[in-house]
């Protein structure tokens, strides 16, 4: 059985002092040994959040990472910086990064390879726009994101990765894909991984659903056979995140 992984994506929210307060509030509420709990936080919050989370079940992730170890890349954060700070996860290829900061499947792939090189678990995001869904090309589009994203990744590495399926039309809109829609796409993503690698790799990889996940929708979503948790946006900044983590 795959262990559920529920990650909060804070996006561009929380100053360092606010972040520490939020961690202190959420620590007792997300204490569930049956779930991997990850707080993916802005770069400036990584160290104070990691410090505040010590002794708890909370693991800390970054929201982005560059694909070089060091160099003249002003404003970027490197995998060496993350590992030295004790960061275990990194979100890669979020739709907002793709839309606003021109990230491509190819740059996401470079970041995936670099994350594995340094023992950081990538949470690779994929998802379609409303127009793509209406045009009936959802899986064509997502399969390309997955296949290019995992190019050069070994089966053993892929087994440890996390894929987050987030329909772009459901992010921050209050709209959630129906349970059936979410399960259908996550099942197809798993089938795509099986095509790239094999059935064992597909069975091992964890696939999250993201897009306006809340305490009400989480139980049904996480009960689906191919949905292994969630990447949670706005709701991860509130005490209700505890209800999502303790969805049963």
Q: What is the pLDDT of residues 177-205, one digit of tens each?
A: 899 999 999 999 999 999 999 999 999 99
- Would you say how long the chain is, in residues? 248
Sorting pLDDT into bands at 50, 70 and 90, what band is 72?
A: very high
Catalytic residue among 63, 94, 103, 128: 94
Would you state the pLDDT for residue 25? 97
pTM value is 0.96
The mean per-residue pLDDT over the stretch 111-136 comes to 95
Closest alpha carbon to 139 in 100, 178, 186? 186
Closest alpha carbon to 171 in 211, 210, 142, 138? 211
Instruction: Report which secondary-structure segment, H or E, holds 199.
Output: helix 199-204
DSSP-based three-state secondary structure for 124: strand
Give catalytic status of residue 166 as yes or no.
yes
Range scoring the smallest mean pLDDT among 15-24, 136-145, 173-182: 173-182
- Count of structural domains within the chain: 1
Whichever domain contains 189, its CATH number is: 3.20.20.70
Catalytic residue among 63, 96, 128, 166: 166
Burial class (CB in 10 A: 0-12, 13-18, 19+), 63: buried
Which structural domain, as residue segments, surrounds residue 162? 4-245
| 90 close to 115: Cβ distance less than 8 angstroms | yes
């Amino acid at each position: 059985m795959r262990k559920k992984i529920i990650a909060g994506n804070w996006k561009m929210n929380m100053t360092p002092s606010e972040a520490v307060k939020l961690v202190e509030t959420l620590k007792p509420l997300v204490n569930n040994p049956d779930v991997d709990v990850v707080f993916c936080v802005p770069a400036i919050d990584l160290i104070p959040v990691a410090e505040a989370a010590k002794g708890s079940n909370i693991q800390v992730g970054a929201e982005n990472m560059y694909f070089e170890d060091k160099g003249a890349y002003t404003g970027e954060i490197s995998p060496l910086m993350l590992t030295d700070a004790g960061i275990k996860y990194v979100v890669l290829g979020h739709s907002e990064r793709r839309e606003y900061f021109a990230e491509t499947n190819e740059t996401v792939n470079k970041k995936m390879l670099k994350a594995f090189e340094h023992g950081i678990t990538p949470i690779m995001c994929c998802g379609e726009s409303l127009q793509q869904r209406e045009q009936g090309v959802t899986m064509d589009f997502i399969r390309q994101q997955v296949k290019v994203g995992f190019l050069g990744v070994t089966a053993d590495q892929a087994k440890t990765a996390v894929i987050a399926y987030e329909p772009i039309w459901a992010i921050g809109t209050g709209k959630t894909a129906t349970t059936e829609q979410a399960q259908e796409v996550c099942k197809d993503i798993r089938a795509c991984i099986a095509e790239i690698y094999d059935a064992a790799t597909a069975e091992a990889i964890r696939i999250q659903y993201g897009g306006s996940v809340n305490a009400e929708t989480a139980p049904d979503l996480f009960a689906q056979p191919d949905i292994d948790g969630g990447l949670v946006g706005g709701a991860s900044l509130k005490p209700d995140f505890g209800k999502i983590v303790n969805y049963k």
